[in-house]
């Protein structure tokens, strides 16, 4: 199992989301990353600052994985638009 670590930027971005239901959905989806390689909604990113993204509705959770110590670092949570990627 992987350990989840939230960066301050990602925590701040989630707190700004007005919908409590959506925030809970994001936290639930991020918790599922503990079983990292077996998640369907994860996509590996190429030519991007972060390694992976998790799709949660109209939001994208950008994260990196450190396999040597089994940590998933949540970097950003952003609403999907033309500037997300």
List phi, psi (to 5°) of 39. Answer: -100, 130
- In total, how many domains does the chain have? 1
In a domain, residue 85? The reply is no
Specify the higher pLDDT residue, 67 or 24. Answer: 24
Predicted structure pTM score: 0.85
> Mean of the pLDDT values across residues 5-17?
94
CA 59, CA 85: separation in Å to the nearest integer? 12
Q: 44: domain CATH number?
A: 3.30.2310.20
CA 66, CA 18: separation in Å to the nearest integer? 31
- The pLDDT tens digits of the residues spanning 16-35 come to 999 999 999 999 999 999 98
In a domain, residue 38? The reply is yes
Domain that holds residue 37: 3-79
């Amino acid at each position: 199992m992987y350990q989840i670590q939230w960066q301050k930027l990602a925590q701040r971005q989630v707190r700004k989301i007005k919908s409590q239901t959506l925030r809970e959905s994001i936290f639930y989806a991020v918790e599922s990353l503990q079983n990292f390689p077996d998640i369907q909604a994860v996509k590996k990113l190429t030519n991007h600052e972060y390694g992976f993204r998790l799709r949660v509705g109209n939001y994208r959770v950008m994260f990196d994985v450190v396999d040597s110590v089994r940590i998933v670092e949540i970097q950003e949570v952003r609403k999907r638009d033309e500037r997300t990627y």
